[in-house]
Amino acid sequence: MGAVLEKENVTGASDWAARAVERQRRYFESGETRSYAFRIAQLKKLKDAVVRYQGEIQDALKADIGRPPFEAYIEISTAIEDLKHTIKHLKGWMKPRKVSTSMWAQPGRSRIESTPQGVTFLLGPYNYPFLLLVQPLIGAIAAGNTAVLKPSSLNPTVADVVEKMMRECFADDYVSVFKGSTDVTNALLEQRFDHIFFTGSPRVGRIIMAAAAKHLTKVTLELGGKSPTIVHKDANLKVAARRILAGKMLNVGQTCVAPDHIHVHQDIRDAFEQQMIATIKEFYGDDPSKSPDLGRMINDRHFQRVAGLIDKAKVLVGGQTDAGQRYIAPTLLKDVSMDDAVMQEEIFGPVLPMLTYASMEELIGNLKKLPEYPLALYLFTASEAVEKQVLANTQFGGGCINNTVMQVANPNLPFGGVGESGMGAYHGRNSFDVFSHQRSILKATTLFDIKFRYAPYKDKVNLM
């Protein structure tokens, strides 16, 4: 274990940050957080608190990001389901795993133990400000660590509720919450943590990783990207339109795994476009601005950025905006090319560009032109050959065939990106693993010995 920060090392404006981490390190080194009994008690406490705070969290999500109550319920119930799953399986996950022992390592037995890492730092994004702080926390607690939480400054109401809830559940030498701006984050990033778990943009991901490098701290980066959706000519268009729009319009497109753009086969393009227009109407009525089921953009900057990506000449449906409400209508763009501005950055709003392809070669060529490996890919097809061809020629974090977004709802699937969309994965057992150190132990017997590997080596090479 590393050295405890000494008081004399605590200098300047980041005194409080150093002291906060020092307190947690002392608590971690007391050994209190390691036992199964302690971990399970904290997880149960957290679960009860999430259930108790459900109404307050829902109201805070409405206040900060205009989240419809049903979407808030999805966010909160996902946290509760993850807690239940972790509570159910933790004992099994904590058991050391026996593995076979190779010839050179004889005589002995081998096992892998999952050990806690220490003090963790969890940074959340604005778009699912409750779930994406609490889900990593579940993993950190399950793995026997302490945690410092930093909610996004764009969700002050949610941050207040999270702080109040955590204070009620935990002493701050075990779990603490720091609200505020980038200055607060930077002061914390100067400290030595044992694991930093960041969810946010690739731009800030780079800042986090550079700060972690100073202390060689392990990082998990859950980032974003331009996730493509492919609608092949044999797809069930009605189902595809529903599942694409359900995934895209959740949180009005401010979802890391939302379909970013669509590649549609030219033979079904007209039929698919009509199906998409009809489905928007089915979901949100004639005037989506009046629908209670659509949220709003988080702030003026993001509103202006996404509104600026709408090329009026290419609008198939939607395109209306209201700056006062930060409202952007569900918007489909047609005849988009890979060179258009809307294809150069993650959209993260309710704008959905559509491109067409005539052959698999053209489709795969376009997918390879994406600036980076995306977090997700979605393919709608009835053909296993098409599925195989697309999967063999693409690299992305995870995805669905004939659905969108729902891969993240299965705790048995690791959730994470690749390349620019992130590193490391979590959810379910993967959360426990990512917050643990896998410690290898070879236990040898001294009852007998094999002299073969000892010097003198003379003539032994000839025996091999």
**Residue 400 annotated among the catalytic residues of the structure:** no
Question: Does the N-terminal peptide bond of residue 107 adopt cis geometry, omega within 30 degrees of 0?
Answer: yes
Asked if residue 181 lies in contact with residue 151, where contact means CB atoms within 8 angstroms, the answer is no
72 vs 241 by CB, closer to ligand NAD: 72
99 vs 210 by CB, closer to ligand NAD: 210
Q: Which residues pair with 237 in a beta bridge?
A: none
**Residue selected from 143, 223, 240, 376 as contacting ligand NAD according to rule CB under 6 A:** 223
Q: Which residues pair with 150 in a beta bridge?
A: 123
Binding to ligand NAD, residues 55-84 (CB under 6 A): none
> Which listed range, 63-71, 97-105, 125-133, 351-359, lies at the site for ligand NAD (CB under 6 A)?
125-133
Is residue 197 a contact residue for ligand NAD (CB under 6 A)? no
> Which listed range, 50-58, 87-95, 123-131, 315-323, lies at the site for ligand NAD (CB under 6 A)?
123-131
The pair of structure tokens assigned to 285 is 């009525």
How many CB atoms neighbour CB 69 within 10 A? Answer: 14
Is residue 115 a contact residue for ligand NAD (CB under 6 A)? no
Q: In whole angstroms, what is the distance from residue 92 CA to residue 94 CA?
A: 5
Is residue 127 a contact residue for ligand NAD (CB under 6 A)? yes
Catalytic one of 75, 256, 346, 372: 256
Binding to ligand NAD, residues 403-432 (CB under 6 A): 417, 422
End-to-end CA separation in angstroms for the chain: 41
Asked if residue 319 lies in contact with residue 326, where contact means CB atoms within 8 angstroms, the answer is no
Using CB positions, name the residue nearest to ligand NAD.
224
Q: In whole angstroms, what is the distance from residue 106 CA to residue 398 CA?
A: 40
Q: Where are the alpha helices (DSSP H) in 308-464?
A: 360-368, 384-392, 429-434
Least distance from ligand NAD to the Cβ atom of residue 376, Å: 9
Nearest to 64 by CA among 148, 151, 147: 151
Is residue 126 a contact residue for ligand NAD (CB under 6 A)? yes
> Which listed range, 38-46, 92-100, 193-201, 261-269, lies at the site for ligand NAD (CB under 6 A)?
193-201
Nearest to 57 by CA among 44, 75, 42, 45: 75
Q: How far is CA 121 from CA 77, 174, 218, in A?
A: 24, 12, 11
**Residue 222 annotated among the catalytic residues of the structure:** yes
255 vs 356 by CB, closer to ligand NAD: 255
**Residue selected from 66, 116, 118, 200 as contacting ligand NAD according to rule CB under 6 A:** 200
Site residues (CB under 6 A) for ligand NAD? 123-127, 132, 150, 152-153, 182, 185, 199-201, 204, 207, 222-224, 256, 346, 348, 375, 417, 422
Q: Active-site residue numbers?
A: 222, 256
